[in-house]
Amino acid sequence: MNTVTRQQAREAWIARLLGGFGERMTRGTVAGLGSGLVFLLATMGFVTTKGLPAVAPMIDISTIFHGQDKPVPSPENVVVGLVTHLTLAMLFGIGFAIVVVPVLRRLPLLVASGVAYGLLLYIVNFQILGRTLFPWFTNPQGPNQGFEIFIHAVFGLLLVPFFLDRPRTQDRPPAEVRR
């Protein structure tokens, strides 16, 4: 019979945990990128209904990178906004994967947490950072706040499918150690 010491069991559990961590990081990156692209496309479509060019959201987002009070339309800022948006979306996806996914096991809780996570992102990014560091995001002439609340909730919801088939045993310590 193979005997496993406490130390060996602990090391095996840590290896499984870190393996799960790497998988969550990867899934979080992909989830953030996919959800961020849907978010951006929906936002681009929405602004065109308001008479703005489809690139307006990327120009708005470029203000984060440049620390500007107002967007400055230019081809360079479209690219800067796109890269900034996708980078943040991937980081937010990783944040969801690290903070929320290991804690929740049931689908309804994961779905509710995804929506709550998206709304929390809106509160932090628009209502806290927007009011203190990025005034364009709370400017009445800036992004439509009602739509931003909605699309941030959708972003969080779209993260969920990327974590539905994850292994459930990787994050638990070993149940029994033989001597």
d(CA 4, CA 131): 56
d(CA 84, CA 114): 22
Residue that the structure tokens 């307006």 belong to: 56
pLDDT digits (tens, 9 = 90+) for 132-167: 998 888 888 899 999 999 999 999 999 999 988 755
pLDDT digits (tens, 9 = 90+) for 59-117: 999 999 998 889 999 999 999 999 999 999 999 999 999 888 877 778 999 999 999 99
Do residues 156 and 114 make contact, with C-beta atoms less than 8 angstroms apart?
A: yes
Taking the complete model, does pTM exceed 0.85, yes or no? no
